């Protein structure tokens, strides 16, 4: 396994094996693409579908990429305690992880993965400290900027806001158990899955 974080996890507060992986990282590092690759190549891994108040992009399907919900529906989910974590991302829409499906996946023994932002990862750290927290990192800052600009779906102001968020999020790497560098999507997905089901799933720390 390559890419272990420089800072080792604190000892003693996590079991040797983790069935729940929380994948986070800066804006545009490719978390969603890596999560989609895990879904595509490893059906044995259950990948959470988040609820969001943002509008679907072309090609996105309700229940596949996200559960697209109204503000009122999101409020109701929060009020009922249905969300394991939730956050306002990029100061625009709300995103949250439905709790029930995660519990079901774990209870049925499936390895499970959440792909969420840093604020959400910190919340899950508080409630499910037994999870393994994985930081997906770009090969370089320049590459991250290139990916942000390359996506081309945001306005100039939005891109600046995302870069600012990315700077803050990159600084959070040391809070995570493991770092994976996203040189190439398939390889990053394989590294992730190996942490759950492969030889790397039995951790010695």
Binding interface with ligand 5GP (CB under 6 A): 27, 31-32, 50, 54, 85, 87, 89, 95-97, 115-117, 119-120
Is 15 or 100 the residue whose CB approaches ligand 5GP more closely?
A: 100
CB of 205 to ligand 5GP, least distance (A): 26
Q: Which residue is nearest to ligand 5GP (CB)?
A: 120
Pairing mode of beta strands 178-181, 132-137:
parallel
CB of 118 to ligand 5GP, least distance (A): 8
CB of 12 to ligand 5GP, least distance (A): 27
Is 69 or 87 the residue whose CB approaches ligand 5GP more closely?
A: 87
Is 37 or 117 the residue whose CB approaches ligand 5GP more closely?
A: 117
Residue 154 Cα distances to 72, 85, 106, 148, 161, angstroms? 26, 26, 36, 9, 10
CB of 53 to ligand 5GP, least distance (A): 10
* Pair 45, 193: CB distance under 8 Å: yes
106: Cβ contacts below 8 Å, ≥ 6 apart: 19, 20, 112
Is 18 or 52 the residue whose CB approaches ligand 5GP more closely?
A: 52
Is 116 or 195 the residue whose CB approaches ligand 5GP more closely?
A: 116
77: Cβ contacts below 8 Å, ≥ 6 apart: 51, 69, 83, 86, 96, 98
CB of 10 to ligand 5GP, least distance (A): 23
CB of 102 to ligand 5GP, least distance (A): 10
- Residue 145 DSSP SS3: helix
Is 16 or 80 the residue whose CB approaches ligand 5GP more closely?
A: 80
Per DSSP (E only), the strands in the chain are 20-24, 46-47, 51-52, 67-68, 83-89, 93-98, 112-115, 132-137, 178-181
Kindly state the helix (H) or strand (E) to which residue 118 belongs, with its residue range: helix 118-127
């Amino acid at each position: 396994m390559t890419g272990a974080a420089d800072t080792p996890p604190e000892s003693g507060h996590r079991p040797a094996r983790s069935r729940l992986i929380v994948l986070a990282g800066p804006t545009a590092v490719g978390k969603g693409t890596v999560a989609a690759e895990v879904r595509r190549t490893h059906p044995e891994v259950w990948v959470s579908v988040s609820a969001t108040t943002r509008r679907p992009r072309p090609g996105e399907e309700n229940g596949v990429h996200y559960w697209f919900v109204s503000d009122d529906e999101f409020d109701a989910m929060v009020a009922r305690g249905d969300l394991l974590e939730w956050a306002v991302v990029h100061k625009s829409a709300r995103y949250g992880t439905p709790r029930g499906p995660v519990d079901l996946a774990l209870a049925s023994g499936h390895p499970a993965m959440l792909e969420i932002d840093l604020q959400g990862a910190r919340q899950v750290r508080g409630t499910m400290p037994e999870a393994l927290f994985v930081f997906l990192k770009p090969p370089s800052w320049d590459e991250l900027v290139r990916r942000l600009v390359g996506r081309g779906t945001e306005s100039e102001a939005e891109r600046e806001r995302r870069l600012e968020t990315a700077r803050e999020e990159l600084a959070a790497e040391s809070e995570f158990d493991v770092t994976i560098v996203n040189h190439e999507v398939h390889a990053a997905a394989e590294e992730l899955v190996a942490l759950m089901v492969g030889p790397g799933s039995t951790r010695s720390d």
